[in-house]
Amino acid sequence: CVSFQGLKQLWCEEGQAIGEIQLPDELVRDLTNYQLHPALLDVGMQVIAAAIGEEESQTTYVPVLIERLTVYRRPDTSLWAMASVAIPLKDNKDSLSGQITLLSSKGETIAIIEGLQLKQVTREALLGREADELRNWLYEIEWRSQPRFGRQLPPEYILIPGEISRKLNPLVSKLVSEIDLNSYSKFLSQLEALSIDYIVHAFV
């Protein structure tokens, strides 16, 4: 197996892996600031990656869920990580489940990560775009002025109120004569009188 950063030794077979961890000096100073240093979780993920097995080694898996993390004691600078993964089901080959146990150099349990869910991802999904489409890697937004309605309109396109009134007045007289608004006005007064009669009779 390939040795990962932070691991002194690593033993693995399909579905299981054990790694000896030696924290680097730059992390030892921060060890007391955490109940469980994040770097230990990272190394644990590296160990479980080794446990995935040769058949799945060409596939990228990322952790998406931890059902339970139990911390029993603070770790020392030297510890062990034991990892195991379950063989994926035939109907769910894009997911794996596993467990990581961190042990002290004396064999005491430091922490257990249970229900670790790993999901298969593609290179394109990790990049967030098609890797071979270079034209999508760099872009910028450029605003360009466009004329309204497909042509540039002059400032005097919008008429002033007086000009609008002058153009519409002749049309108003023509419309009144064409639709005979006077007849509608007479009919409306008769309809209102009839409505009043109905209301009066309803309450008598």
| CATH number of the structural domain spanning residue 54 | 3.10.129.120
109 in the same domain as 32: yes
Q: Tell me the pLDDT of the chain averaged across its residues.
A: 77
Name the least confident of 98-102, 110-114, 118-122, 193-197.
Answer: 193-197
* Residue at 80 is within a domain: yes
* Residue at 135 is within a domain: no
165 in the same domain as 79: no
Count other Cβ atoms within 10 Å, centred on residue 36. 20
* Residue at 110 is within a domain: yes
119 in the same domain as 38: yes
pLDDT > 80? residue 93:
no
The last residue of a domain, from among 112, 129, 146: 129
93 in the same domain as 170: no
pLDDT at 71: 92
Percent of the chain at pLDDT above 70? 69
122 in the same domain as 187: no
Q: Is residue 54 classed as helix, strand or coil in its secondary structure?
A: coil
* Residue at 35 is within a domain: yes
* Helix H or strand E segment including 49: helix 38-51
CB 128 within 8 A of CB 108: no
103 in the same domain as 52: yes
198 in the same domain as 99: no
161 in the same domain as 125: no
Structure tokens at 83: 């990892």
* Residue at 146 is within a domain: no
Count of domains forming the chain? 2
Across the range 67-85, mean pLDDT stands at 91
Tens digit of each residue's pLDDT (9 = 90 or more) over 129-185: 554 555 556 667 777 776 655 556 666 667 777 777 787 777 777 776 666 666 666
pLDDT at 2: 39
pLDDT at 50: 87
**pTM of the predicted structure, to 2 decimals:** 0.55
96 in the same domain as 175: no
103 in the same domain as 168: no
Name the least confident of 31-40, 68-77, 87-96, 165-174.
Answer: 87-96
Bridge partner list, 10? 19
Domain that residue 24 falls in: 7-129
Across the range 21-35, mean pLDDT stands at 80
Estimate the crossing angle of helix 161-179 against helix 181-203, to 10 degrees.
Answer: 70
